[in-house]
């Protein structure tokens, strides 16, 4: 009998990846962000496109930003490092991703500017949290990548829970700006969820259905006028 059957071999690889491989860091400005490779769902790659995207639009510094499904919070910490937000809130369901965020906070002495929560979607976020800007590259695929927590959102369950509850944390005039996958969804995929939450889509950028690329969707409350930086032509 082969002691390393596929299931056992896979379990060993996951254990080694999760517990035995060393922590890494990546630098954004003056900040060192801690992570392990398996925690990176694209935030260190296409997630960094947020920075030139927001800078090109002339977004003023936001008082408080939130990164949804943050993982190690590559996006959120990069926003902070580039002066695009004053304070930051991050949260993730993965306990090791939360530990990565806490390591980053300790290393960079950010306890007065960054809050970290271990939360299943928004369930464990305290009501006192109020955000001017929400960003994130959440799990993109409803029908594939079932084995991968970073990528799979069965029946859009995670998205539905987010849109149903995020309004409680969004300040008046607040903006939600998400990255989604062109090969998994279109802006119309989320329209009923957004409408049911009392919100509206005011920006769609780079929507190319079927392509292996990212599009942005910008959302505000239905009765609010979006800020000029969000809707300006670039």
Mean pLDDT (whole number) for 146-162: 85
113 token code pair: 């500017």
pLDDT of 3: 37
What CATH architecture applies to the domain 25-231?
3-Layer(aba) Sandwich (3.40)
What pLDDT, in 10s, does the model give residues 173-186?
Answer: 999 999 999 999 99
Q: Which helix (H) or strand (E) holds 25?
A: strand 24-28
What pLDDT, in 10s, does the model give residues 12-49?
Answer: 455 555 566 899 999 999 999 999 999 999 999 999 99
Q: How many CA atoms lie within 13 A of 8 on its CB side?
A: 5
- The phi, psi pair for 20, rounded to 5°, reads -100, -30
Please name the residue that has the structure tokens 């290393």: 107
Nearest to 141 by CA among 42, 17, 6, 13: 42
CA pair distance 180, 159, nearest whole angstrom: 11
Q: What angle do CA 44, 61, 128 make, to 5 degrees?
A: 85
Q: What is the pTM of this model?
A: 0.91
Domain boundaries, the chain: 25-231
What is the pLDDT confidence band of residue 4, given thresholds at 50, 70 and 90? very low
Mean pLDDT (whole number) for 187-192: 98
């Amino acid at each position: 009998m082969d002691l390393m059957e596929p299931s056992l071999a896979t379990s060993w690889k996951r254990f080694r990846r999760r517990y035995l491989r060393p922590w890494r860091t990546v630098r954004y400005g003056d900040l060192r962000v801690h992570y392990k490779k398996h925690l990176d769902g694209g935030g260190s790659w296409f997630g960094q496109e947020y920075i030139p995207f927001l800078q090109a639009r002339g977004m003023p510094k936001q008082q408080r930003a939130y990164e949804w499904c943050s993982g190690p919070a590559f996006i959120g910490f990069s926003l902070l490092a580039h002066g695009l937000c004053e304070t930051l809130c991050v949260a993730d369901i993965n306990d090791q991703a939360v530990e990565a965020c806490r390591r980053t906070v300790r290393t960079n002495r950010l306890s007065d500017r960054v809050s970290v929560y271990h939360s299943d979607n928004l369930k464990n976020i305290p009501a006192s949290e109020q955000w001017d800007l929400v960003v994130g590259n959440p799990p993109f695929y409803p029908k594939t990548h079932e084995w991968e927590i970073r990528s799979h959102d069965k029946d859009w369950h995670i998205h539905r829970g987010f849109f149903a509850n995020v309004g409680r944390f969004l300040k008046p005039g607040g903006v939600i700006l998400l990255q989604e996958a062109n090969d998994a969804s279109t802006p119309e995929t989320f329209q009923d969820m957004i409408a049911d939450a009392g919100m509206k889509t005011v920006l769609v950028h780079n929507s190319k259905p079927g392509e292996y690329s990212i599009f942005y969707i910008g959302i505000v409350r239905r009765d609010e006028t979006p800020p000029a930086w969000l809707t300006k032509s670039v």
